[in-house]
Amino acid sequence: GEDVEQSLFLSVREGDSSVINCTYTDSSSTYLYWYKQEPGAGLQLLTYIFSNMDMKQDQRLTVLLNKKDKHLSLRIADTQTGDSAIYFCAESLTNRDDKIIFGKGTRLHILP
Amino acid sequence: DVKVTQSSRYLVKRTGEKVFLECVQDMDHENMFWYRQDPGLGLRLIYFSYDVKMKEKGDIPEGYSVSREKKERFSLILESASTNQTSMYLCASSSYSRGRGDEQYFGPGTRLTVT
């Protein structure tokens, strides 16, 4: 089946690293995405990784993909108050007309 | 064993009544949460608390307030219950894990009916 799982909540102190984890079930996914949703706003594409890569780095963001375990993670270095948001993991399925399946989102809370 | 308990499993209240839902955890967890669960809508976060007397609004805080006077106890208050607050209410707690993922432990739920 098609399923994307993530934990509901993550709390982190400002300046520490955050690691948001995601598991997916469909091995035919081509792209895996991380979206950010700030309070009152829509989804914003943060970064994505092609399924034949295992790592992608973009400034403070590092995406790691373990295709064997179907595990995706987003690491945010030096977490700031502006990183407080809900983060959604998603996968696109080439054998389903590029249908995108979203996880339920991980709420990242920055401790004062 | 982590234990999260809720004061009632079933509650029936009238429209306009003030309702208190209590949640207690025995694992010294920093974080506590109140969710409601409705058919087809999944879990929706109402409020959470990351420390005593500290609270943050979740996705649907309207019509609710919370209180966290002691670390182990987190109360959800419906100031004036309405029929659209009929739902299953779930309390959860988690420990601060330095940014590595907080595993949440859930209580058994309180099914509230407002007539």
Cβ-based contacts of B56 with chain A (< 8 Å): 109
Mean pLDDT of B40-56: 92
How far does Cα B108 stand from its chain's mean position?
11
Tokens matching residue B10: 């079933």
Q: Which residues pair with B11 in a beta bridge?
A: B112
Decide if pLDDT at B11 tops 90.
Answer: yes
Residues of chain A with a CB closer than 8 angstroms to some CB in chain B = 7-13, 16-21, 79, 104, 107, 109, 111
Each residue of B71-103: pLDDT tens digit?
A: 999 999 999 999 999 999 999 999 877 666 667
- Average predicted confidence (pLDDT) for chain B: 92
User: What percent of chain A is predicted at pLDDT more than 90?
Assistant: 62
B9 contact partners, CB below 8 Å, separation of at least 6: B108, B109, B110, B111
Q: Do B100 and A79 touch (CB under 8 A)?
A: no
Mean pLDDT of B64-74: 97
Each residue of A63-74: pLDDT tens digit?
A: 999 988 999 999
Q: Please, are residues B107 and B6 in contact by the beta-carbon 8 Å criterion?
A: yes
With bands split at pLDDT 50, 70 and 90, how would you rate the model's confidence at B28? very high
Task: Flag whether residue B56 sits within 8 Å of chain A, measured between CB atoms.
Answer: yes
CA distance B102 to chain A (A): 5
Euclidean distance between CA atoms B92 and B29, whole angstroms: 10
Amino acid symbol at B114: V
Mean pLDDT of A41-54: 90
Decide if pLDDT at A80 tops 70.
Answer: yes
With bands split at pLDDT 50, 70 and 90, how would you rate the model's confidence at A1? low
- Average predicted confidence (pLDDT) for chain A: 89
Parallel, antiparallel, or unpaired for β B54-57 and B42-51?
antiparallel
How big is the CA angle at A66 (ends A60 and A68), to the nearest 5 degrees? 175
Query: What pLDDT score does B40 carry?
Result: 84
Euclidean distance between CA atoms A32 and A34, whole angstroms: 7
Euclidean distance between CA atoms B11 and A84, whole angstroms: 35
Q: Check the CA dihedral A26-A29-A32-A37 and report its sign.
A: negative
User: What percent of chain A is predicted at pLDDT more than 70?
Assistant: 96
Decide if pLDDT at B56 tops 80.
Answer: yes
Tokens matching residue A75: 């690491």
Tokens matching residue B36: 């409601």
Taking the CA of residue A111 as centre, how many other CA atoms within 13 Å lie in the half-sphere pointing to its CB? 20
